[in-house]
């Protein structure tokens, strides 16, 4: 349904370091960047699937981070994991990269019996989730 989305971050390099580390276990990485000179305004970094994610065509950015003014209001970003081990690895990598725990890996049966997810807050306070819908 959604082709791609973008979020503004206060410090592009700090957020890049966080998302690079947090998304690596999920097979998601920077696939494109556009400089401020190219856009005539802000720099952008696009994240998408790698060769390890056949469900996400390699090279296509799905999530963009953009340098700019401090974001306002709450936001939730959920990315799909292939299995529960990827959710666990995302959570550990995101915390090691400076994220704040906002929900340890585990089943959330109030969504559905196989909803396995973990939540962290990114450097700008956004709730970032990795979720696997497959049975254990």
Q: Tell me the two tokens of residue 101.
A: 């725990």
Q: What is the pLDDT of residue 56?
A: 87
Q: What is the pLDDT of residue 69?
A: 86
* Domains of the chain (ranges, CATH numbers): 5-67+75-132 (3.10.180.10)
Ramachandran assignment for 103, one of left (phi > 0), alpha (psi -120 to 50 degrees), beta (any other): left
Q: What is the pLDDT of residue 5?
A: 94
Q: What is the pLDDT of residue 42?
A: 94
With 0-12 / 13-18 / 19 or more C-beta atoms within 10 angstroms meaning exposed / middle / buried, residue 3 is exposed
- What helix, strand, coil percent values describe the chain, rounded to 5? 25, 35, 40
**pLDDT per residue rounded down to tens, the chain (136 residues):** 688 999 999 999 999 999 999 999 999 999 999 999 999 899 999 999 998 888 888 889 999 999 998 777 789 999 999 999 999 999 999 999 999 999 999 999 999 999 999 999 999 999 999 999 999 9
């Amino acid at each position: 349904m959604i082709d791609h989305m973008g979020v503004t971050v206060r410090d592009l390099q700090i957020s890049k370091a966080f998302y690079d580390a947090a998304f690596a276990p999920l097979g998601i990485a920077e696939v494109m960047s556009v400089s401020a000179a190219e856009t005539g305004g802000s720099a952008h970094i696009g994240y998408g699937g790698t060769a390890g994610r056949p469900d996400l065509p390699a090279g296509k950015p799905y999530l963009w981070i953009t340098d700019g003014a401090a974001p306002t209001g709450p936001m939730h970003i959920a990315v799909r994991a292939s299995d529960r081990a990827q959710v666990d690895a995302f959570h550990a990598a995101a915390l090691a990269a400076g994220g704040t725990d906002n929900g340890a890996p585990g089943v959330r049966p109030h969504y559905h019996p196989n909803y396995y997810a973990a939540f962290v807050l990114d450097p700008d306070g956004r709730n970032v989730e990795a979720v696997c819908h497959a049975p254990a």
